[in-house]
Amino acid sequence: MVHEMKIKIEKVKLEDIDSDEKFRVTTNNCIKELLSSIKEDGLITPPLLIFEKNKYLIVSGFRRLSACKKLNVAEINAIVLDEPDELKLHKYAILENSKHRNLNVIEQSIAVTRLLPFFDGADSAKEISKITGIPQNPSLIDKLTQISKLPTRIKNYMLDDSISMVIGLELSNLENRVAIKFADIFHFLKMSLNIQKEVLTNIVEISHREKISLDDIFNTKEIFDILADQDKNRNEIASCFRQYLKKRRYPELSKAEKFYIDKTKTLNLKNIKLIPPKFFEGDNYTISMNFKTTSDLTKYAEEIDSLSQNEIMDEILKREY
């Protein structure tokens, strides 16, 4: 890549290099290995800089320069580009990262937003795909553009896999303040994608059903107490949180479910399993049992006969709650 550019190698003082990150693509800030390498062998690969308005700007090599500053290096060798075309500079910055590894979703979103202003809408996906390796898909470009607008905290959660791109896109449709509240909970409770979807859907539906804001839901004492419970582990807190939302979104269903669970416990069923209608809609219950011999079947039949005469079973069937 470098041989196509007008370049020169210069000795540059670190104090003369501006901290502007307009060309930064990488989201990796770790410099531990670089510190050891530079301390032992010096800076082997010079960073790419441009000289603009009496200062040097970094095009590529942000982590290397951070490591040098950490080591109190005063002066380095740098490749200074004589390139006034800003699009080419963005290409250099992106390719310096993408040629070594696949860009993560946040880096892809950065690359897309840097490149989009330079291309016509009809050709943008094709041109961006050539430079970044991102599939030539206009829909994907739109999604990455949405991701780029998320608050930094949510992007960081996406980088540590607390939040997927799917949920990130859902959060991008909310006010930043509210989106961050969702993201903080997902990060804290380490919820799976499906559970995150469930929680997000339930809270939004509660907001619509009760005609209150999402903020009002998050600010309820019940939610605060559940999330702040230090006597429970993360999984237990997540379970309580989901149960609370389910009960609030489906009050009648939750009431029926609690009634059924409480009553079936008192039945003390040993060999058979009573299964209610799905969502407690309808009147058909199912009995499930496993048996190997006719004597097992006889024993279970006796339990079913006893069940049919139990007053509690009548209450369950009539749903007297």
Query: So what's the pLDDT on residue 143?
Result: 95
Per-residue pLDDT, 80: 93
Give the pLDDT score at 156: 96
Query: Is the distance from CB of 40 to CB of 71 less than 8 angstroms?
Result: no
Please, what is the Cα angle at 215 between 165 and 142, to 5 degrees?
Answer: 25
pLDDT, average across residues 86-92: 92
Beta carbons of 131 and 111 less than 8 angstroms apart = yes
Please report which confidence band the pLDDT of residue 1 belongs to, taking 50, 70 and 90 as the band edges: very low
Nearest 5°: phi and psi at 243?
-65, -40
Assign 320 a pLDDT band (cuts: 50, 70, 90): low
**pLDDT in the model for residue 6:** 67
Name, in order, each residue with C-beta under 8 angstroms of 47's C-beta and a sequence gap of 6 or more: 58, 59, 60, 61, 62, 64, 65, 76, 78, 79
Correct CATH for 1-101 of 3.30.360.10, 3.10.110.10, 3.40.718.10, 3.90.1530.10: 3.90.1530.10
Residue type, 93: A
Q: What is the pLDDT of residue 4?
A: 55
Residues of the chain with CATH 3.90.1530.10: 1-101
Per the model's pLDDT, the better-predicted residue between 109 and 314 turns out to be 109
Residue 48 bridge partners (DSSP): 60, 79
The pTM score is 0.75
Any idea what the Cα angle at residue 281 is, between residues 278 and 284, rounded to 5°? 75
Q: What per-residue confidence (pLDDT) applies to 262?
A: 85
- The 10s digit of each residue's pLDDT in 141-163 is 999 999 999 999 999 999 999 99
CA-to-CA dists, residue 87 to 80, 122, 126, angstroms: 17, 18, 15
Q: How far apart are CA 2 and CA 98, in angstroms?
A: 15
pLDDT for 321 equals 61
**pLDDT, average across residues 299-305:** 87
Nearest CA-CA partner of 70 in 59, 62, 78, 79: 62
- For the segment 193-222, the average pLDDT, to the nearest whole number, is 94
